[in-house]
Structure 1
Amino acid sequence: MALTGGADRIGVGLVGARGYTGAELVRLLEAHPRFHLAFASSRQGKGKPLSSLCEGAETALLVEELGPADVAARGSAGVAAVILAMPNGQAAAYVEAIEGAGAEAIVVDLSADHRFDARWAYGLPELGRAKLGAARRIANPGCYATGAQLGIAPARGLLSGPPHVFGVSGYSGAGTTPSDKNDPEKLRDNLMPYALTGHIHEREIAHGLGIEVFFTPHVAPFFRGITLTISMPLAAPVSVEALRALYLEAYAAEPLVQVQDEIPLVRDAAGRHGVTIGGITVDAAGRRAVVVVTLDNLLKGAATQALQNLNLACSLPELLGVPS
């Protein structure tokens, strides 16, 4: 593995440093004991020090505007991994350039572009860690899809039909490009449903779990965090105690998944690196279960998970550099 920034430092490049997730990655990589941020690319931030773009960052590394060929060249010259933190539809050109140049760099793609590609490892460690240890191409899951899959997985074998997932995200999930979904004035005193059918995360959840799922996303006036209320039809009556035991057993060894009795609140998810599952309930007939899941869409829903995946791909402890 190529090393830069010192004999024990692993060089990592970041494409998309200007976005909300990019800023979280900068802070995580800057504090990581083994990774070294070798370059950061952003069209909007070109020529500026990262410290001026990412609050809390201290690095004086200047942001560059690097196209696919430029990134591929860096991947052939000492950068061990490249993180693509760009909108959907923009990753392919970078991946093609890296592979065309014969670069050995690990690629972690935070967009949806490779989540359905069998040649890429799907990076949800809690549900598929074994595939990530030697992975060179990792598709980072979506934020909603992360919470929904973790919320449904323990009960998957009990279901009689598709779970229904009601999701609400803070407006940072809509990115930095201006739209109705990230306009604080249009969101004021409001809850905005969108993509009422066919959302990419609906397909992703179903693909990851191997079952049909119905998902309806909404955006709210708060900046960060996701809450998911998941309603699941049960094939046979189940007690709430038995259902809670399933969740506790499934995640007993997972430091970033907390199972609790109380309904988790989205405001408590902001700034936290894990997922909280709670409010586990079964109706009076024992035939419908409901769970609530919260997480920070920019952290476990994106940047923290990318760091888990990169650690595993580099044969490092999975939670190295993840603040406790």
Structure 2
Amino acid sequence: MNDSVHTVGLIGARGHTGVELIRLIAGHPHLDLAFVSSRELDGQRVADHVAEHAGALRYENLDAAAAAAKRVDAVILALPNGKAAAYVAAIDTLAPRTLIVDLSADHRFDDAWYYGLPELTRARYAGQRRISNPGCYATAMQLALAPLRDRLAGMPACFGVSGYSGAGTTPTDKNDPDTLRDNLIPYQLSGHMHEREVSRQLGRPVAFMPHVAAYFRGITLTAHLPLTAPIDDAAALAARYRDFYAGERLVRVLDAPPWVSRIAGRHHAEIGGFALGEGGRRAVLVATLDNLLKGAATQVLQNLNLALGWAELEGIPLRDEQRGT
């Protein structure tokens, strides 16, 4: 039995996704968290902030060269958009075989990087050491649209609502509970990064309308898809999704519309609420996922496992998250 361990470094560990990654790595039998970098938490014990982590490891404030000099097996970049370049350049120079998984959007449009949405792209993985992790909304949209990609007659439209954890930890109106109370805030209703990301991956334009609500975590996305040919009924539409995601333990297909409150803290996505209009030529469905997990940290673990040679779901605590019926 292979009981080897790979070392992992995490850069940008203070954010909500960083915390989830520390928890997941702590529970992975073949990953060891070798360093965590955070300017704000420099010198503080990781265990004092993330109870699941045992040991004396402390946060460090590492610049690009110092992080690259750590020489670990894999580095996770959990930095804001536009901040990855210096770290990637330093690792390319000092330790080019180090695996990098980038959570930002900085490399999602770079063909030299593997785009890691495993349920849809694992067949494209060919040993690449540079992996771009998809965006949270982009993951939900692609899972919702992919089974009908070959039957789209026009531009799909996706109405999304996220919990305020998706707005990060830097204070803004979009993560202020007082501003969000009894409120729903729309933002960047055209040209959103995830709209462009999904349009690139799908190979055709997608319209996306994001909003943020007064709950902490989770995404609900309602997708409207015009079709080239009618589908007989909602049962046939649901069957298409069940066939497409057969065997995928992190995508669950339901009959009823999924609720965002039921996905919080879970590692899978749910798709359901199938409906048809205009004589079967317009499909409507709902997708939910936890933006911090399947939309970020869980998917990082899937990509790490794939690249490091472990079973794709190794270290992901599934509980009852099995394929729906």
User: Contact 1:224 / 1:270 at 8 angstroms: preserved in 2?
Assistant: yes
* Number of residue pairs matched by the alignment: 316
User: Contact 1:30 / 1:59 at 8 angstroms: preserved in 2?
Assistant: no
Q: Which runs of 5+ in 1 are unaligned?
A: 1-6
Match of 1:188 in 2: 181
1:174 aligns with 2:174: no
User: Contact 2:67 / 2:87 at 8 angstroms: preserved in 1?
Assistant: yes
Deviations along 1:183-218, one digit per CA (max 9) or x if unpaired, are 111100000000011100000011111111000100
Question: Which one-letter code corresponds to 2:249 in the other structure?
Answer: P
Match of 2:107 among 108, 111, 114: 114
SS in 2 for 1:281: strand
1:62 aligns with 2:55: no
1:173 shift after superposition = 0.2
- Measure the CA separation in 1 of the matches of 2:62 and 2:306: 27
RMSD (Å), alpha carbons? 1.3
Match of 2:323 in 1: none
1:134 aligns with 2:127: yes
1:42 aligns with 2:35: no
Deviations along 1:45-99, one digit per CA (max 9) or x if unpaired, are 1000111222543343111010000111112xxx100000111010111001100
User: Contact 1:13 / 1:83 at 8 angstroms: preserved in 2?
Assistant: yes
Question: Which one-letter code corresponds to 2:240 in the other structure?
Answer: L
1:219 shift after superposition = 0.2
- Measure the CA separation in 2 of the matches of 1:109 and 1:132: 16
1:233 shift after superposition = 0.6
- Measure the CA separation in 2 of the matches of 1:55 and 1:147: 29
Match of 1:4 in 2: none
Q: Could you state the TM-score of these two structures normalised by the residue count of structure 2?
A: 0.95
In structure 2, the CA distance between the partners of 1:225 and 1:149, relative to structure 1 (3 Å rule), is same
Q: Which runs of 5+ in 2 are unaligned?
A: 319-325
- Measure the CA separation in 2 of the matches of 1:74 and 1:277: 41
Segments of 4+ in structure 1 off by > 6 A?
A: none
Deviations along 1:172-191, one digit per CA (max 9) or x if unpaired, are 00000011110111100000
Question: Which one-letter code corresponds to 1:249 in the other structure?
Answer: D
User: Contact 2:26 / 2:52 at 8 angstroms: preserved in 1?
Assistant: no
User: Contact 2:260 / 2:288 at 8 angstroms: preserved in 1?
Assistant: yes
Match of 1:233 among 222, 226, 229: 226
Match of 1:197 in 2: 190
Q: Could you state the TM-score of these two structures normalised by the residue count of structure 1?
A: 0.95
- Measure the CA separation in 1 of the matches of 2:17 and 2:108: 18
- Measure the CA separation in 1 of the matches of 2:48 and 2:191: 38
1:223 shift after superposition = 0.2
1:241 shift after superposition = 2.6
- Measure the CA separation in 1 of the matches of 2:178 and 2:211: 16
1:293 aligns with 2:308: no
1:287 shift after superposition = 1.3
Match of 2:21 in 1: 25
- Measure the CA separation in 1 of the matches of 2:274 and 2:215: 25
- Measure the CA separation in 1 of the matches of 2:279 and 2:37: 55
1:232-251 aligned at under 5 Å gives the runs 232-239=225-232, 240-251=234-245
User: Contact 1:269 / 1:296 at 8 angstroms: preserved in 2?
Assistant: yes
- Measure the CA separation in 2 of the matches of 1:159 and 1:196: 22
- Measure the CA separation in 1 of the matches of 2:146 and 2:40: 40
- Measure the CA separation in 2 of the matches of 1:90 and 1:144: 20
1:93 aligns with 2:86: yes
Match of 2:263 in 1: 269
Identity, in percent, stands at 58
1:303 aligns with 2:292: no
Match of 2:322 in 1: none
- Measure the CA separation in 1 of the matches of 2:227 and 2:4: 51
- Measure the CA separation in 2 of the matches of 1:226 and 1:32: 26
SS in 2 for 1:74: coil
Question: Which one-letter code corresponds to 2:36 in the other structure?
Answer: A
- Measure the CA separation in 1 of the matches of 2:49 and 2:128: 31
- Measure the CA separation in 2 of the matches of 1:133 and 1:302: 22
Match of 1:3 in 2: none
Larger CA deviation: 140-149 vs 236-245: 236-245
